[in-house]
Chain A
Amino acid sequence: MSLPDYTKISQGIVYDPANGIDGEVRDIWILDQHIVDAPTDRAIRPARVIDAQGLVVMPGGIDMHCHIAGPKVNTARKMRPEEKRRDKQMPRTNIAHSGTLGSVPSTFATGYKYSALGYTTAFDAAVPPIGARHAHEEFDDTPCIDKGFYVLMGNNHYVMQSLMQQEPGKLKAFIAWLLNATKGFAPKLVNPGGVEVWKSKQAGNVSGLDTKVDHFEVTPRQIVGGVARAAAELGLPHPVHIHCNNLGMPGNWETTLETMRALEGHRGHITHIQFHSYGGGEGDENTFNSKAIPLADYVNSHPNITVDVGQVLFGETTSMTGDGPLGYFLSKIYGGKWFSADTEMESGCGITPIKYRNKSLVHALQWAIGLEWFLLVQDPWRVVMSTDHPNGGSFLAYPQIIRLLMDSTYRRDILKTCPPEVRQRSSLADIDREYTLNEIAIITRAGPAKILGLANKGHLGPGADADITIYTPNENAEVMFEMPRVVIKSGRVLVEQGEIRESLIGKTLHVQPLYDIEMEADIQKWFEKYYSIRWRNYPVDLSYLHQSCVIPTRHGDLQG
């Protein structure tokens, strides 16, 4: 028998907020794919030592809201050849495949770039269930990171029908069945009810939480409340991930507040909240202003709610969303090419190129509101770094956002390039708060791990996945975070100083909640009436997952 093959990360400055370690010099021991206690037998030497003296050691980053795989992302790739040719090129090496960048990188490029940035886990935020198989196929070609996705449900006919018929048992079984069938991770609501209205009439949408959805006679409030309750009863690790109604509209902050209220105390995550925090008259850009303060106040006093920001960065990108009517709205503003797809029984989709300009008052306010959110939420465990990649900007901009949060002088310098009205219409200029490294570690790894219910991620304690990032400290946080010294994934050194050293495919994180199998007959009956594919050909089987990793629910899991 051979001796255990330990790796030791020696004497790094460790930031592990989940275990209360805030910048202490420690050793981290790794055995195979996990972090372990230091062996009690002092005679045991590690097979490999990574000298981290003077370097900062954190758990691998976790992106809990991005768009990296599946039908919508791939359509955006097809649609935007023009931005790839002028971006940096990624030739193949003897280890890595080639790829293309632009705002929507190819699959391999996505995996390598996340890894080189010190991120080891990412979740696609919006996969239509019928396209789940596609998302899994792309995941299989997205190396170096663990992945999962959220399943679009907010406009699903069975969901709305169960609510209309006041059948909470059916709703609960359906959510569990659908998560099992898609090998998804969490329920996602995108403009609940609004996409269905968009499908049924020109420029259709709902206007708020209490608008009835045509044909189904349910309201967004019922959808949010009903799904949140069912998800809580299923004990899902990440119960419900919500893209509110009225994204981007002046005055939408009240819709957002009502959505939070509609949770009725159940856990819920409001995503890219920056896009949902606007004051002003209906559709009136002249009165557009920030409502981050009242919303952050509500979040601060309601521990059932978590948020990610959806920070906007200045520059060109691609908007992609399951929110069909939003895509239509944006395409009319920008006038460029526009993709829209309605998916039977389930969802919609909108894609259009956009450009955020610092000289535009609206765009500069969006930028400021995102930063306000990071700085106004008191508990860093409940606010998460995101750009809603690529909607607000690329995930590659995270180091820049970290600098904006840690360096108030830099923040003010950028604010000076924006129209002066931004100072009156948002509170950003008045905020002095600067993030610490420990707080950065929370909003980029420890916090999302906790919000997602990933017990083995986001920390460096024994039993955790050996997903670890080592940074070279620098006064300029952007420099520090844009090129980690070493990135370790599942115990293997994948990246050193931006260079890919080794590649692996990574795990797929998904849930298998228990449900009443008897309910399947009703779901099947509904399915066979209106779907264009067969019931038996709909579920994704495990052979599509390179490596399945089931995250347990609190109330039991299906086996197998």
Chain B
Amino acid sequence: MTSATTQAHAPTPSEPGQLKVIQDATCTFCGCVCDDIDLTVKDDHIIEAKRACVLGKAWFLNHSIEDRPSCLVEGQPAMLDEGYDRAAQILTQGKYPIIYGLSDSPCEAQRVAVSIADWIKGTIDTTTSVCHGPSGMAFQGVGEVTCSLGEVANRCDLIMFWGSNPAESHPRHFTRYSLMPKGMFLPNGRKDRTCVIVDVRKTKSAKAADIFIQIKPKKDFEALWTLRALAKGVDLDPDQVQRETGVEYSVWVDLMERMKGCKYGVIFFGMGLTMTRGKHANSEAILALTRDMNAFTRFAAKPNRGHGNVTGADNVVSWRTGYPFGVNHSRGYPRFNPGEYTTSDTLANREADCAMTIACDPLANFSQPAREHLAAIPFIALDTKETPTTRAATVAFTVATYGINTGGTVYRMDDVPIPLRPAFPSPHPSDYDVLTAIEQRVKRILGVQG
């Protein structure tokens, strides 16, 4: 484990009253992972975040050091060592320990979390299982034809969004990567591109589209299958198409002509597709359609990932275990089964008997049975701020914020790894520090030398 990776990028404290500028800092708020932000820091506060979007500005400018203990054991302030000891005891005494979250941690910390899961024969899962997990499963079924975001900027003349609302979720998506950039082969930027947005409601993104197609809710699969059929020249009944999709047959025919006629198309898809009726079947349909289109032109697809380093979590868990999320080590080796080893299931099925959550808030957003079970078992929570989950945790650690207080590596939604340039130090430990301390204790308890 290269602890140097995080240490080398540790921020330097600024002199009181002095301005410090961090150039090309990386914003980890969403999967766009914009790495062109210039931060102005004064007295351990970011006072300007140049080029950041509204979400990025909120992320940087509202950041302050939490005035709370770095460690709480059963709600009471405690020394870090006490918290580490208690955490290691909980994790090693459980019969079905689970570790969950990770998508807002740098890869360096994610790697330690996977190590802990390995040593304790636990289950490791990331927030992928509740966002693009279905895309991951679809990927295992059909593969994916994709490209980096820079290729989109340089080559893609047909930009489609499906069940995704980047105007609100990824505000710089349009300007930085997809719609506006003047690319190598698209010198006029927006004028050289056509934008098509498909959704069940008229989102804020819709006004950016040249063509907005509003389909019936829960009919994404049918709409995508219609396009697949049109691509292959299958005869369809126009009335049935309209009945099923809520959109006139001629609109789909026109869209398919545009798709076949473009030079390089791309479909970004979001949770509006993956978390609606059909789930992984929807993702499979969109990936299969993209593949089909490559018989006519070049076409790519890409999930619009949400969290700053959810893509890094997929990568780290994959390179260490062979599987992207929902990985169980109870037999001593990794096994993968979404629906069984994914956290919403291990909790709702009352299988997990202890847990560690990292940079996530399941007590705020999981189903009621899952929440009830988590609240009933001993668990450890790492977060930068107080949340319903940290409040209920047996051991809660307040950790430094990645990309603001600590360095490391994050992966953009297109799998491009980007380093972090932190702005100022935090009195709290990083999640890497906390996890490493817990891992050391776990290894000692279990007699692991590796």
Contact = CB atoms under 8 A, between A and B. Distances in A.
Interface of A: 69, 71, 73-75, 77-82, 84-85, 89-100, 102, 104-109, 130-131, 133-134, 137-138, 140-141, 157, 199-202, 215, 328, 331, 336-345, 351-352, 503, 529-534, 536-537, 541, 543-546
A204 B332 CA distance: 46
| Residue of A77, A78, A138, A544 with highest tally of chain B CB at under 10 A | A78
Given A78-B136, A95-B450, A337-B142, A130 B2 contact: no
Interface in B391-450: 409, 411-412, 415-419, 446-450
Interface in B251-307: 263-264, 291, 294-298, 300
Nearest to B448: A94
B146 A340 contact: yes
B321 interface: yes
Contact of A105 (B2, B118, B121, B322): B322
B38 to A, nearest CB: 11
Nearest to B7: A543
A141 B142 contact: no
Contact of A532 (B1, B142, B148, B336): B148
Given A98-B334, A342-B300, A531-B150, A537 B418 contact: yes
Contacts of B334: 84, 98-100, 106
Interface of B: 1-2, 4-5, 7-9, 23-24, 26, 35-36, 107, 111, 115, 118-119, 121, 136, 139-151, 153-155, 176-177, 183-185, 263-264, 291, 294-298, 300, 314-315, 318-324, 329, 331-336, 409, 411-412, 415-419, 446-450
Given A95-B450, A107-B319, A338 B329 contact: no
A94 B450 contact: yes
B287 to A, nearest CB: 9
Query: Which applies to chain A's interface (DSSP): helix, strand, loop or mixed?
Result: mixed
Given A94-B449, A339-B146, 20 more contacts: A69-B319, A74-B315, A81-B140, A82-B140, A92-B119, A95-B450, A98-B118, A100-B323, A200-B155, A328-B294, A342-B147, A342-B300, A344-B148, A530-B154, A533-B416, A534-B24, A536-B24, A541-B8, A543-B4, A544-B2
Given A537-B24, A543-B8, A99 B143 contact: no
A532 B412 CA distance: 11
A91 B418 contact: no
A90 B333 contact: yes
A448 to B, nearest CB: 25
9 nearest interchain CB pairs? A344-B150, A91-B332, A100-B322, A532-B150, A543-B8, A337-B143, A342-B147, A133-B417, A338-B143
A165 to B, nearest CB: 16
Query: Which applies to chain B's interface (DSSP): helix, strand, loop or mixed?
Result: mixed
Nearest to A353: B143
Contacts of B295: 202
B448 A106 contact: no
B1 A140 contact: yes
Contacts, number: 224
B2 A338 contact: no
27 contacts: A73-B319, A77-B319, A79-B139, A81-B140, A82-B140, A84-B322, A90-B333, A94-B446, A94-B448, A99-B333, A105-B322, A131-B417, A199-B151, A199-B264, A201-B263, A215-B185, A328-B294, A342-B148, A343-B147, A344-B148, A344-B154, A351-B143, A530-B184, A536-B24, A537-B419, A541-B419, A543-B9
Contacts of B297: 201-202
A343 B416 CA distance: 9
Contacts of B183: 530
A137 B7 CA distance: 15
Contacts of A109: 322
A133 B5 CA distance: 11
Contacts of A140: 1-2
Contacts of B321: 98-100, 106
A140 B418 CA distance: 17
Contacts of A537: 24, 26, 35, 418-419
Contacts of B107: 137
Contacts of B119: 92
A131 B416 contact: yes
B140 A79 contact: yes
B109 to A, nearest CB: 13
A98 B295 CA distance: 41
A421 to B, nearest CB: 33
Contacts of B155: 199-200, 342
Contacts of B118: 92, 97-98
A106 B329 CA distance: 14
Contacts of A85: 335-336
Contacts of B139: 78-79, 339
B302 to A, nearest CB: 10
Contacts of B7: 543
Given A532-B177, A534-B24, A342 B151 contact: yes
Contacts of B294: 202, 328, 340
B150 A79 contact: no
B154 A92 contact: no
A98 B318 CA distance: 13
Contacts of A531: 150
A536 B25 CA distance: 10
A146 to B, nearest CB: 16
Contacts of B324: 78
A534 B115 CA distance: 32
Given A95-B449, A97-B115, A534 B35 contact: yes
B144 to A, nearest CB: 5
B151 A92 contact: no
Contact of A534 (B36, B147, B323): B36
B332 A92 contact: yes
A82 B143 CA distance: 13
A325 B214 CA distance: 35
A341 B148 contact: yes
Contacts of B450: 92-97, 503
Contact of B333 (A91, A94, A130, A344): A91
Contacts of B141: 337
A559 B434 CA distance: 35
Contacts of B176: 532
B184 A141 contact: no
A202 B296 contact: yes
Given A74-B315, A201-B298, A340-B146, A106 B322 contact: yes
A305 B439 CA distance: 50
Contacts of A339: 139, 143-146
A214 to B, nearest CB: 10
Nearest to A536: B24
A134 B415 contact: yes
Contact of B2 (A73, A90, A98, A546): A546
B318 A74 contact: yes
B322 A352 contact: no
B147 A341 contact: yes
| Residue of B141, B184, B319 with highest tally of chain A CB at under 10 A | B319
| Residue of B154, B411, B417 with highest tally of chain A CB at under 10 A | B417
A202 B111 CA distance: 39
Contact of A108 (B2, B147, B264, B320): B320
B175 to A, nearest CB: 12
Given A133-B409, A342-B148, A533-B416, A77 B298 contact: no
A138 B319 contact: yes
